[in-house]
Amino acid sequence: MLFHLFNHFREAIPGANIFRYVSTRLGLATLTSLLITFAVAPWFIRRARAHQLGEVIRDDGPATHAAKSGTPTMGGALIIMALVAATLLWCDLRSTLVWLTLLVTVGFGAIGFYDDYLKLTRKNKKGLSGRLKLLGQFVIGGVAVAWLFTSDALPLDVRLRLAPPLLNFDRFPVVLPLGVYIAFGIFVLLAESNSVNLTDGLDGLAIGPVIICSFTFLLLAYAAGTTLRNFNIAEYLGMAPVPGAGELAIFCGAMGGAGIGFLWFNTHPAQVFMGDVGALALGGALGFVALATKTELSLPIIGGVFVLEAVSDIIQVGYYKRTKKRIFLMAPIHHHFEKLGWPESRIVVRFWIVSFACAILGLILTLKVR
């Protein structure tokens, strides 16, 4: 909104022309979402406590988690509010990519919100059934992905092409049939969303890698969609050129800023938890940004911590069903380290370090090795 306002009066207001630049607006979006989160979070936490919106701890979880019972949850709603507000203020709202990304973010967040609501009202960890949760994600994700790949949101010559991180996009065309790409896109959204949700088990554990991934995809989106003085960054780096992807860099800045603001209150010992409303929304947002910027094959590398958490859970469940034995002391894998006696803060910080290393590796493979 402010982008359109300043753009309209750019000749009447001295200096207003600066707001046309993506680099200016992504910085402002990051600060805006950060300040909104800082300003609203204390009020949100007080209201959540007043309405007894406290986390219900699973009975079979680590014994140390008993102290977390009653901590306000659904803080992800605060992240979504700050993220959406900053996006609407600073993005070019004529962009289809922006609206589709918001559709996935808010839609997945709504599913998580309902799941959290059921858990709180029933006072147990059984919220929305897994099948209904996946069905909701499938429908919303299917609409967004189908729209992305069948509309002019993406250029026709890149719409159905994969961009493997090690291969130059122009020299090595990898084209998928429309139906296959839509199915693959839905899988990316569901996998990323639920992987982030699995990671959200310790104070600050999920939001840290989300922040790192947000700023990593900010760089990728900026590179994919920005031309500087007739210099095409994507073409130089061997990436898929996606006109308008710079607006998603602004979205990623807003997501990172909101995440930093939330981390202030979510660091150990947490004053508020993200809840499914935040985890599903942020995971879905990261997945869709990756699809829209043609970096979906880089996502498992950049979001390596989320992959590690999900794979550890899948291995544990599959191995137990087959042998009635466990590979890990408890899954997902962060609980395994808890059972080994690692302090919570040590696990979280070390996972952040791994996440940062994964992001650097993803950038190297996506931007340089090509």
With bands split at pLDDT 50, 70 and 90, how would you rate the model's confidence at 321? very high
The answer on pLDDT for 67 being more than 90 is: no
On average, the pLDDT of the chain sits at 92
With bands split at pLDDT 50, 70 and 90, how would you rate the model's confidence at 85? very high
The answer on pLDDT for 142 being more than 90 is: yes
* Percent of the chain clearing pLDDT 90 (strictly above): 77
Instruction: State the average pLDDT over residues 313-319.
Output: 96
Say what the pLDDT of residue 180 is.
97
The answer on pLDDT for 319 being more than 90 is: yes
Residue with more model confidence, 11 or 103: 103
pLDDT 10s digits, 326-361: 999 999 999 999 999 999 999 999 999 999 999 999
Say what the pLDDT of residue 229 is.
81
Residue with more model confidence, 302 or 165: 302
| Chain position carrying tokens 């858990």 | 119
Say what the pLDDT of residue 68 is.
72
Say what the pLDDT of residue 347 is.
97
With bands split at pLDDT 50, 70 and 90, how would you rate the model's confidence at 6? low
Say what the pLDDT of residue 113 is.
96
pLDDT 10s digits, 189-230: 999 999 999 999 999 999 999 999 999 999 999 999 988 888
Measured torsion, CA atoms of residues 24, 25, 28, 29, in degrees rounded to the nearest 10: -150
Tell me the C-alpha distance between 109 and 137, whole Å: 10
Say what the pLDDT of residue 170 is.
86
Angle at 164 between CA 159 and CA 167, to 5 degrees: 110
Tell me the C-alpha distance between 335 and 344, whole Å: 10
Q: Which helix (H) or strand (E) holds 289?
A: helix 275-292
With bands split at pLDDT 50, 70 and 90, how would you rate the model's confidence at 232? confident
- One-letter identity of residue 127: G
The answer on pLDDT for 324 being more than 70 is: yes
The answer on pLDDT for 10 being more than 80 is: no
With bands split at pLDDT 50, 70 and 90, how would you rate the model's confidence at 176? very high
Tell me the C-alpha distance between 360 and 213, whole Å: 10
Say what the pLDDT of residue 69 is.
76
* Percent of the chain clearing pLDDT 70 (strictly above): 92
CA–CA distance from 145 to each of 104, 136, 155, 176, 250 (Å)? Answer: 9, 14, 15, 14, 20
With bands split at pLDDT 50, 70 and 90, how would you rate the model's confidence at 58? low
With bands split at pLDDT 50, 70 and 90, how would you rate the model's confidence at 248? very high
With bands split at pLDDT 50, 70 and 90, how would you rate the model's confidence at 2? confident
Say what the pLDDT of residue 121 is.
84
DSSP per-residue codes, 227-285: EETTEEHHHHHTPPP-TTTHHHHHHHHHHHHHHHHHHHHHSSSPSS--HHHHHHHHHHH
Say what the pLDDT of residue 93 is.
94
pLDDT 10s digits, 18-47: 878 899 999 999 999 999 999 999 999 999
Say what the pLDDT of residue 279 is.
98
pLDDT 10s digits, 118-141: 988 876 667 899 999 999 999 999
Query: Which residues, including other chains, have CB under 8 Å from residue 344's CB and lie 6 or more apart?
Result: 64, 202, 203, 268, 338
